[in-house]
A and B are shown apart, each in its own frame.
Chain A
């Protein structure tokens, strides 16, 4: 019944379009006032300016300020229009058509057309550039411009989540001329269609952007200027917020959250999220090639304690699957709890009655990785498992352990879709196949789900997949973190996004009490 599907798509578009105009449906919403400079504290250097190569939140934020994508991700995890006004998929969701806003211009004044979109995606898909987006924007086979304002994506396989996938942080639209010409210039300069224009860029100190007067939405942005201040030290950024030296903290730790909570002039921001820290098994390396061993270890975890130790209570229990209620299509399984007896039994079954010894590698950034390792170490002791924690610099970790190791700690932002996270980490063709679990049944479920539109059916498929993971435990996922942030009360129109890497500062504004106003 093609009609139905049309209707469905139509409605999504409508809904999302609305959402774009009123980002948060809430009563008593004061009308935004224009002007002022917003000072944002970010916890890492903005090392990479190139929008297709950004890797960490501060870089994502910068790119988001300067560039637009085709779609953007709402707090409800649904796609909203950005450069694309509307979109539509064919019968089997293998071909998608996007309608681009007319008369959008880049910061240098040149118009942004379908050609730029095509060029941008070709660049993203070009392996030589090795853009992180390449693995995240979906199974795109080819991109072509139908006319100046229409782009058609042909996929290698049906993919229902394409509109959301295209909102990926690296999927930014840049001028075809730059791609053809001096592509590397994007490392130090910027030319996008975003709400702000680049003023100055000092990777380790600050990034300054100013309002883009030619932004496609005449109302926004409200701010004249945004400054990103780099604070490598958490204490410092919190103190600065309290001192009123900055207006907003993009990423906050639980303890700092507690410290700021209730301070007058400050709003703490919190959102449940699919962000998690996990313990990966190299399922191809003994003893972790035995599911019983993996499950045994999972059973030693006191998840309530974990939520406490790792998140100070700002989190939710994990069930050894990467999905939780902040994802769509989610249905909870029965929660796994600590059960030492069963763990020991399983070990005995697996031929390790006296437990075993293993080295757990944790990168030193962020500190939460080590905290998980240390906590697990203590819990595993009870089942006779001796864990030696090895901490190493992140660079060394990436170079030597990541996706290769037998037993190590991972840390992930929430992905826009269940498909996103599963395809990123756990399917055989996962971009970062950390566990080498390679379970074909699991792959099949995920692939079926991504080509299914019906919510109930999809939910069911993902639930089966979850069950499979929960049973085989390629990775222990003990807890999910809420994403935390804080802002001065004088900053408005901003709320923290579950995805943690989406900010939407074009909606933010400062009221009259802000020191930088006027």
Chain B
């Protein structure tokens, strides 16, 4: 008998729920999944759709309050649900293994990378430590790490995120398992690194022909990596299809919605900007440096080099313009935003509407009112102990304006498409998307002329993200406020920005018109960045 007949993984009619103080919470409902050898099944779904629970269920690593139905989970011919813990621990890591979302947290901070790789080989291949370390080096070389021997000896905090994830992958492949579960393996990584990891994955997948369950929230990404895609909505698979077919002719409305929600650079959401002579803001070689010289440095006669957040940034912003800023984490996008809103000290000059601003002291009430910022995490940017009324009441009270405050707040709530009675709620009574709308409302209550959006959609699900963007664009049309839109999602920014600024390690690489970003004469880094971006699904699926 050949394994090719029996699928590597077969989940049939499987349901899962969690017991909670207030009754049962269903997580997965009667799911059927099969993955054959060499096949990649993509599992897509938004947060709370139960995709991670599915992974845990397959790995048989469920919390104590989990309740399963009779459904079966088989790995090859073995019924995983029949295995006891000890038997499972022989299967885990040997016959099936897992790659996690964030390599930073999935590696033990105090153990050498080598040990964390070798321990699997020792456990499952019965190698001696020496053998395991030698084998380990080979594996690290295999995942494209230049200096494997040295890597083995390093501690997690001594290597980059990409390198960490390569080690994790090497560990997953270490025992040539039949099945590997990839749980959003690139989400925590920068665009370019993510691309490299994806390539590595494809390569290893091809070599080993391992069956893969690839969990992601990113349809576009799956459209490239998976052979088949299962769409998961609230614990139910609404559609499961060959990738190409799924994208060409989605049947289920939810699938359609997801595809529609994925940003498409060619669908411009912002109308062209009518040129006005004088810029609203002009930033002139603005730099931000962190840290201060400590007495120890002077004692040891070390010259002290501060951490550079921004290096002499210069850029203009027209009234009503939407400027996108893209770049990896640590490229200084947010630092710039913080500087412009007086959250960071800075050297250099910001000219706002002709008025020079050289430091915090120059940021008068007027400036504060005109320049508003919206943060990435709505649940962190809304004070958990204040009601919406107070949260939104502040700008009103602070910047004045006509009309009864409470009425103004209510009308603003309606403008951000939230029911007026939310005014007396606490943030924790709202969903993520609703919270972000409140944050937006707070920013616009002062009729700002410049709104800085710092990654405001990256914490949201695709569909929510889309609606928030719509709202943002609508407000842009109505108020004519200029935006600085900071994101790492290049597809999105190409949709909504007039111009795009690319930043790298604190430097401003270049600024180009959104339409011209793809031109061949762009800077190398820009081109690298765009190359790394997964083009949206359907352009791919002709």
Chains A, B in direct contact (C-beta < 8 Å): no
